[in-house]
Structure 1
Amino acid sequence: MSAAPAAPRPASAEDAATQAVRRLDLLLAPPPARTGWRMLPARVGAMCAVELQKLRHDRTELYTRAVQPALWLLIFGETFTHIHAIPTGGIPYLDYLAPGIIAQSAMFIAIFYGIMIIWERDAGILTKLLVTPTPRFALITGKAFAAGVKALIQAVVVIVIAAVLGVSLTWNPLRLLGVAVAVILGSAFFSCLSMSIAGIVLTRDRLMGIGQAITMPLFFASNALYPVAVMPGWLQTLSKINPLSYQVDALRGLLLGTHSHLGMDYLVLVVAAAAGVTVASSLLGRLAR
């Protein structure tokens, strides 16, 4: 008498066996590398994640950098709100100042980013990164957008302080998303500017001196503290070629609802960020020589 046929294996058991075989294959051979257009976003994201991992080990930078914008709002903003010395189009000066301080704090974080890349050169990290398949463009873009994320965290701190002080800000999600994009683009440009200078001067001391020399002129030659209309003619010309002015204009229009030129603002920020990434990428090789 013949034996009864074996019962068929459940489909779930077959699926589990197939997955186990696939895991074994991955252990024996690495997965295929991403190629073409998929490689660049993956490398940019990886470099950005590496930069942001540093915040897990030392968060004091975020806390200490929150002190300066708080002082600007508490002392400078409150004082000039009471004396009515600067025409702001009918809005309180503290409200007018808050977007400018957001842009200022973001710029101050990004403008010294070149010091970090010089430190990586001195520690031998940059040389190891440059011999990997990661394109220089992706390396610089990852660092630039990591600076933007750090600046975005700083912007949240400033917005919270401004809200506590009674500044009338919008809480529209789409407008806040636009604020985040403007902060990231502006920070990407200034971090690339810093890394470009690092590729020229090659030392931390020189870069720190140049960074300190240009941050305050960039800040005061913008519309962060006062309208462009009250500036002398030569300063108005500088303000029109200063990307910080366009960032502040976008932030002020989004957060306060004042008249702004959002299309032009974003266009300038995108072009400035793209140009900054291109120049910094071309100068990166000088740091590794």
Structure 2
Amino acid sequence: MHSGWAVLPSRVAAMCTVELQKLRHDRTELYTRAIQPALWLLIFGETFTRIGAIPTGNVPYLDFLAPGIIAQSAMFIAIFYGIQIIWERDAGVLSKLLVTPTPRAALVTGKAFAAGVKALIQAVVVILIAAALGVALTWNPLRLAGVVPVVVLGSAFFACLSMSIAGVVLTRDRLMGIGQAITMPLFFASNALYPIALMPGWLQAISRANPLSYEVDALRGLLIGTPAHLPLDFGVLGLAALAGIVCASALMGRLAR
């Protein structure tokens, strides 16, 4: 068991390398995934900035929205990551991986942080789009470095959530349906589009239990300098990612049966 856990760093690095190689050989996914956040910023952000329908204090609405769209884009990449696990099960790859000495948690962690790498690349694209639209983002290297663990941890949680669902439903069609059913509620029941204070009480409670809200809060604090709760945000995201890894690891065996 000890030797299995010893390969955890190399497993994570290998998974991340594979994802980077996929993007290097086929950049189409990167370009197509940039369309949706660009539309959110260009149409939704610009329109609501002009009409001033959502009060965001001294922060222009487009600036307020940009970190939320970064988090949304990262979540949309990660939430369907369980499909890859089911594909590997159908191709016979997963069963071979599970009989190796590598712990299931190492396999799940590697895939979760590989999703984080893809989401981080997407975040860079959205940041560049936001900057081109005039969003007043910080270029402080330390703050930008802080964005990396925020996006990676948030994406790792949602990837593990997807893998956990895959371990329950066991088929790609069911996972696609559930993934589509929960992504928009998770997005709208967060602070990505509007401040929590504007929500009705029941939605505020849901938003405060939603890890996406803490990811958005941290990104706003780091990128546009709004008041944030960074220790709490990092703590919640870290615990959520850890809980996701534990849950997905426990359900991984069901896919190999």
User: What is the TM-score normalised by the length of structure 1?
Assistant: 0.86
- After superposition, what is the alpha-carbon deviation per residue over 1:48-76, rounded to whole angstroms, capped at 9, x for unaligned? 32344332333211111100000000000
2:196 is equivalent to residue 214 of structure 1: no
- After superposition, what is the alpha-carbon deviation per residue over 1:104-146, rounded to whole angstroms, capped at 9, x for unaligned? 0000000000111111111111111112222111111010001
Aligned mates of 2:18, 2:228 — CA distance in 1: 36
Q: State the AA in 1 paired with 2:152.
A: I
Alignment correspondent of 1:264: 232
Assess if the C-alpha contact under 8 Å between 1:44 and 1:142 holds in 2: yes
1:55 aligned to 23, 26, 34, which one? 23
- After superposition, what is the alpha-carbon deviation per residue over 1:10-42, rounded to whole angstroms, capped at 9, x for unaligned? xxxxxxxxxxxxxxxxxxxxxxxx947643222
1:95 aligned to 60, 63, 67, which one? 63
Assess if the C-alpha contact under 8 Å between 2:45 and 2:65 holds in 1: yes
Q: State the AA in 2 paired with 1:166.
A: G
Map 1:163-178; keep pairs closer than 5 Å. Answer: 163-178=131-146
1:202 aligned to 166, 170, 187, which one? 170
Alignment correspondent of 1:12: none
Q: State the AA in 2 paired with 1:254.
A: L
Residue 180 (structure 1) shift: 1.1
Quickly say closer, same or farther: Cα 1:234–1:215, change in 2 above 3 A: same
Assess if the C-alpha contact under 8 Å between 1:178 and 1:254 holds in 2: yes
Unaligned runs of 5+ in 1: 1-33
Quickly say closer, same or farther: Cα 1:114–1:249, change in 2 above 3 A: same
Assess if the C-alpha contact under 8 Å between 1:185 and 1:273 holds in 2: yes
Quickly say closer, same or farther: Cα 1:37–1:141, change in 2 above 3 A: closer
2:9 aligned to 41, 51, 56, which one? 41
Deviates more, 1:42-51 or 1:167-176: 42-51
Aligned mates of 2:128, 2:16 — CA distance in 1: 25
Assess if the C-alpha contact under 8 Å between 1:51 and 1:143 holds in 2: no
Q: How many residues align?
A: 256
Alignment correspondent of 1:13: none
2:244 is equivalent to residue 276 of structure 1: yes
Quickly say closer, same or farther: Cα 1:54–1:80, change in 2 above 3 A: same
1:250 aligned to 218, 238, 242, which one? 218
Assess if the C-alpha contact under 8 Å between 1:106 and 1:155 holds in 2: yes
Aligned mates of 1:52, 1:287 — CA distance in 2: 26
Aligned mates of 2:6, 2:97 — CA distance in 1: 19
Assess if the C-alpha contact under 8 Å between 2:4 and 2:103 holds in 1: no
Larger Rg: 1
User: What is the TM-score normalised by the length of structure 2?
Assistant: 0.96
Map 1:152-171; keep pairs closer than 5 Å. Answer: 152-171=120-139
Q: State the AA in 1 paired with 2:81.
A: Y
Task: Kindly indicate whether structure 1 or structure 2 has the higher relative contact order, using CA contacts under 8 Å at least 6 residues apart.
Answer: 2
1:67 aligned to 32, 35, 48, which one? 35
Deviates more, 1:36-45 or 1:89-98: 36-45
Root-mean-square deviation (CA, aligned residues, Å) is: 1.3
Assess if the C-alpha contact under 8 Å between 1:118 and 1:204 holds in 2: yes
Aligned mates of 1:167, 1:128 — CA distance in 2: 48
Assess if the C-alpha contact under 8 Å between 2:19 and 2:117 holds in 1: no
Q: What SS does the aligned partner of 2:231 have?
A: helix
Alignment correspondent of 1:131: 99
